[in-house]
Structure 1
Amino acid sequence: MNVAPASASRLSSALGAALLAVACGGAQAGDIYYRCPDNVFTNTITPKEADAKGCKALEAQQPTTIPAPKLRPAAAPGSAASRVDAQEQKARDSDARKILQDELIKAQAQLDALQKEYNNGQPERRGDEKNFQKYLDRTADLKAQIARTESDITAITRELSKTQ
């Protein structure tokens, strides 16, 4: 790291003051410290040295503390009136199951179509695939679509097993 000599001395004096403050436990209320030019804070110089350097004397204040917010009690559970009727919940569950079954059938049909087109890694070449790389790209895309559809099917069957 290349640091200019003037900024290096400022940096070292600032680090020295910070280390001294940590080692001494920081300034106590009523202690005097000095703010010198270039934003250097120190309590290691005498008042005469501070005047000679153009430093201003400041008195350390007690640190400000902010109390933590009061804990609120946990929310009470909902009343029985706000709960859904058992028959209505059964109807919702059966609707959800029907939707999942429909999605499963659709995903399985899509998987069958993709596997038929993929033809075990040897799909038929199209007229627009005179370039062999286009054919390879489409084959890789079909393989990725098959993998995604298979993962969709496993997720749907997992959701269906939860609704039983």
Structure 2
Amino acid sequence: MPVCTALLSSPTLWSAPLSALVLTALASLPSHAQDRSVYRCPGNLYTDQITVREAAERGCKTLEGAAVTVVQTRRPEAPKAAASGSPAASGATPARSSGNEGARIDPAEQRARDTDARRILDGELRREEDRLAQLQKDLTNAATASPERQNELRAALARKEADVAAIRRELAKLGASTP
């Protein structure tokens, strides 16, 4: 008899309250945890926040059998300054951050980064607002659709509204004015 079967069937190891507690805990686990699919959409975007229908509409492919792993890496540190203490002697430039707490980024470089971030977020906001408007139109036109379809549209609309709000918050952090 395998060890796990012996442990589960052993009356001396399992009391009634403990068994009930374990069964309750197992029953409370989300049933969809293993059913959630990860999709790779055009533009190399990965998501698990869309329905099967949305994935098909967007042309997304299901990733099967592949674990999705997020790896955070550290930036390589710049070489230490030479004995003379001169940044030119070590090859380091003052505009680059070496990852140290006291290092500063050149203000012109920071402005360029902020401008790029604003431009990217503005474009993303426009696209998301267009998608939001389309979802609102689809929901209005779905008055005769099945209740299941209407619920899918409402859920997609709520996610899209949250996406738009998040982008607006990011723009506000950058000091950009939003419509």
Q: Looking at secondary structure, tell me which structure has more helix per residue.
A: 1
Give 1 or 2 for the bigger CA radius of gyration: 1
Does 1 or 2 have the higher relative contact order (CA < 8 Å, sep 6+)?
1
- TM-score, normalization: structure 2? 0.40
